Amino acid sequence: MLVLPDRDAAEDVVEALRDRFGLDEEPQLVRDALAGEDDAEDAQWLVVLRDEVGRLDPKELDEFAGEWEGWREEP
């Protein structure tokens, strides 16, 4: 799972993931509101990836997410 600061970054990441990593399955975008925040601007966006065969290198994904000021988390 990649955590991004906003929806625009998350949408860009989804497109770039397909191009760079050749994903077979479309990543899922999920809005994650920060605890105690009511403002829609105060949300992170999650890009949920499925990699059942272990093709994606966690270090590469960390660096990739960092290009959009995001990071990788294990579910």
Q: Is the pLDDT of residue 65 over 60?
A: yes
| Owning domain of residue 18 | 2-72
Number of structural domains the chain divides into: 1
Average pLDDT over residues 43-60: 89
Q: Is the pLDDT of residue 62 over 60?
A: yes
For 20, list phi and psi in degrees, rounded to 5: -80, -40
Alpha-helical segments (H) within the chain: 7-21, 58-66
pLDDT band at 34 (very low <50, low <70, confident <90, very high): low
Q: Which pLDDT value is given to residue 36?
A: 56
The pTM of the full predicted model, rounded to 2 decimals, is 0.82
- The end-to-end CA distance of the chain, in Å, is 7
Residue predicted with more confidence, 41 or 23? 23
Count the neighbouring beta carbons within 10 Å of the beta carbon of residue 2.
Answer: 24
Residue 15's nearest CA partner among 5, 51, 7 is 7
Q: Is the pLDDT of residue 35 over 60?
A: no
